[in-house]
Structure 1
Amino acid sequence: MANIAFIGLGNMGGPMAINLVKAGHQVCVFDLSKEAVAHVVEQGATTQAQASDCVKDAEFIISMLPAGKHVEAVYLSENGLINHIAKGALVIDSSTIDSPTSISVGAALLAQGINFIDAPVSGGVGGAVAGTLSFMVGGSEADFNQAKPVLDNMGKNVFHAGDHGAGQVAKACNNMLLSVLMLATSEALQLGISNGLDASVLSNIMSKSSGSNWTLDVYNPCPGVMGNVPSSNDYQGGFMVDLMAKDLGLAMDTAVKSHSSTPMGALARSLYAMHAANGNGAKDFSSAFNLFNQKK
């Protein structure tokens, strides 16, 4: 079992850290929220007053932070963790950030003898709790192989996407596709409903036909079609609209840098930004269903 430091105990990071504790690892956690720290400590983790004290003896340092600026600050600022992590340790950054920032942070750590992979995740809070996340890893094959047994304790699918930054690009592609599928599924369901079809009947027809997809079959956006999904709980829980809008921004930045054509992604970003601006930022991203509701 490994000595692991876990930095960032939000909706995703907290459950991920708990699964590492359950797997038998020695886990030291740090977060600015005392409540978040206390919850994970109750499950068997330890903590320190400073993140630097958590990481100094760690073999693995896992971070789950909101944005690239936070990752840069945590690792590379004047008092950053780069000054406290032991040489030969492996940093696993599971934050969803832009690929260039991930590459630059990794390069700075490597220059100090600290290994690094970017390993953003897919699967949402439910996947974090259940330990069924998908990890998209960017880094060397050796570092991927070293990290995989640890990642396996938090997920069921661990992919080596390529070199540093590749995990972030894969995550951007996946979430761009997810957003487009959710919008298209919502539009199709609302079209059927507007023409007298029952949403459950139409969902069943499409799920058994060529329109089948994850947002329809597993995460249906129409209230009442499925239980235990955000659409049947007033779109509470799940993956927030604000976060989808952020991820689509990252995807569009990636497209600009590579001169890629992403008209569907650009439209999805515009629609989710509008949906967030209308006061829906904290709702689940499947609430985009209401963008196509002519009665609202």
Structure 2
Amino acid sequence: MSIVGFVGLGNMGRPMAANLAAAGHEVRGFDVVPEARERAAAQGVTVVGSAEAAADGADALITMLPKGAHVRGVLLADGGPLTRLAAGAVVVDASSIDVATSRDVHEACKALGIEVLDAPVSGGVAGATHGTLTFMIGGAESALALARPLLEVMGGRLIEVGGAGAGQAAKACNQMVFGASLVALAEAFVLADRLGLSARNLFDVLSTSSGNCWALTNFCPRPGLVEGSAADNGYVAKFAAALLAKDLGLAASAAESVGVDLAVGGAARRRVDELAASDGTLDASAVIKAVEAIDTAA
């Protein structure tokens, strides 16, 4: 059994922390949102009053926070939780954030002699709930050796992608491909409709041809085609448009920092931003609404 501090008990962090608690670890969790703390407590997490209290004497500290600014506020704060960990502890930042912040966290931990991984995830709330997340892991082998028993409780696949910040780089690239695929699908379904082709017939072609992709089989933007899709439930979010907009923004920032022109990724970002500005709480697959609106206006 390990003592695990867990900061960030939202839709993703809460089930991750709960799975660790169910596996027999002592999990001390904190979130700034009272409702999140209450739900985590009901799932076996010992809720504490601060990030510092979560880290106090812990063998591991896991963060799952919305933005790089939040990660900085927790992990890079003077006298913050990093100073409260047990000797030989490991830090795992599972947030999806910018590469620069991730590298700063690595440097801060290194200065304190703390092992650290950046390990953003893919798999959504369902993956977090069922312990089947994919972790994209940046950091040293020695850090992974310490964190592996915990990551294996929360995830189904651990993919080592490189050194400091590499996990965040991989996540940004992955989300850019997903976002571009989703927007392309939305455009294809709108185009098919205008050309008199049914959504069902297009789906049957795409799903068995070169147009097949993960976005189609998991986030099909037209209802009645994929069981359990958000489109079948009024686009209630499985993965909110605001979150995809954030991820595509991170990809754009990363690309700008290294001089890569994202012609396709940038166009996809603009479409998703339009949806997020209209209603970011909708599922990302509702981007088809933004495509339809522009097409109709034209």
Quickly name the TM-score band, shorter chain normalised: over 0.9
Inter-partner Cα distance in structure 2 for 1:44 and 1:18: 6
Q: Specify the code of the residue in structure 2 equivalent to 1:164.
A: A
Q: 1:227 offset after TM fit, Å?
A: 2.9
Superposed, which structure 2 residues align to 1:282-293 within 5 Å? Answer: 282-293=281-292
**Matching residue of 1:107:** 107
**Matching residue of 2:119:** 119
Q: Specify the code of the residue in structure 2 equivalent to 1:94.
A: A
Q: Which moved more, 1:128-137 or 1:143-152?
A: 143-152
Inter-partner Cα distance in structure 1 for 2:22 and 2:197: 47
CA deviation digits over 1:220-262, x for unaligned, max 9?
1102222311111111121111111111111111111111232
Q: Does 1:37 align with 2:65?
A: no
Q: 1:204 offset after TM fit, Å?
A: 1.5
**Matching residue of 1:47:** 47
Q: Does 1:202 align with 2:202?
A: yes
Q: 1:60 offset after TM fit, Å?
A: 0.8
SS at match of 2:20: helix
Inter-partner Cα distance in structure 1 for 2:265 and 2:134: 22
Inter-partner Cα distance in structure 1 for 2:252 and 2:29: 33
Superposed, which structure 2 residues align to 1:48-127 within 5 Å? Answer: 48-127=48-127
Q: 1:25 offset after TM fit, Å?
A: 1.4
Q: Which moved more, 1:143-152 or 1:58-67?
A: 143-152
Superposed, which structure 2 residues align to 1:177-216 within 5 Å? Answer: 177-216=177-216
CA contact (8 A) 2:29 2:45 kept: yes
Q: TM-score, normalised by structure 2?
A: 0.95
Inter-partner Cα distance in structure 2 for 1:218 and 1:201: 18
Inter-partner Cα distance in structure 1 for 2:105 and 2:291: 41
Superposed, which structure 2 residues align to 1:129-148 within 5 Å? Answer: 129-148=129-148
Q: Percent identity?
A: 41
Inter-partner Cα distance in structure 1 for 2:95 and 2:183: 25
**Matching residue of 1:3:** 3
The number of residues matched between the two structures is 295
CA contact (8 A) 1:86 1:114 kept: no
Q: Specify the code of the residue in structure 2 equivalent to 1:37.
A: R
Q: Specify the code of the residue in structure 1 equivalent to 2:290.
A: L
Please list every run of 5 or more consecutive structure 1 residues that lacks an aligned counterpart in the other structure.
none
**Matching residue of 1:170:** 170
Please list every run of 5 or more consecutive structure 2 residues that lacks an aligned counterpart in the other structure.
none
Inter-partner Cα distance in structure 2 for 1:263 and 1:145: 39
SS at match of 1:221: coil
Q: Specify the code of the residue in structure 2 equivalent to 1:112.
A: L
Q: TM-score, normalised by structure 1?
A: 0.95
CA contact (8 A) 2:237 2:284 kept: no
Q: 1:75 offset after TM fit, Å?
A: 1.6
**Matching residue of 1:18:** 18
Q: Specify the code of the residue in structure 2 equivalent to 1:282.
A: T
Superposed, which structure 2 residues align to 1:223-242 within 5 Å? Answer: 223-242=223-242
Inter-partner Cα distance in structure 2 for 1:49 and 1:68: 22
Q: Which moved more, 1:266-275 or 1:88-97?
A: 266-275
Superposed, which structure 2 residues align to 1:242-261 within 5 Å? Answer: 242-261=242-261
Inter-partner Cα distance in structure 1 for 2:269 and 2:238: 19
Inter-partner Cα distance in structure 1 for 2:151 and 2:44: 19
Q: 1:187 offset after TM fit, Å?
A: 1.1
Q: Specify the code of the residue in structure 2 equivalent to 1:284.
A: D
CA contact (8 A) 2:95 2:119 kept: yes
SS at match of 1:153: helix
SS at match of 2:28: strand
Q: 1:43 offset after TM fit, Å?
A: 2.0
Inter-partner Cα distance in structure 2 for 1:24 and 1:12: 19
Q: 1:295 offset after TM fit, Å?
A: 5.5
CA contact (8 A) 1:87 1:112 kept: no
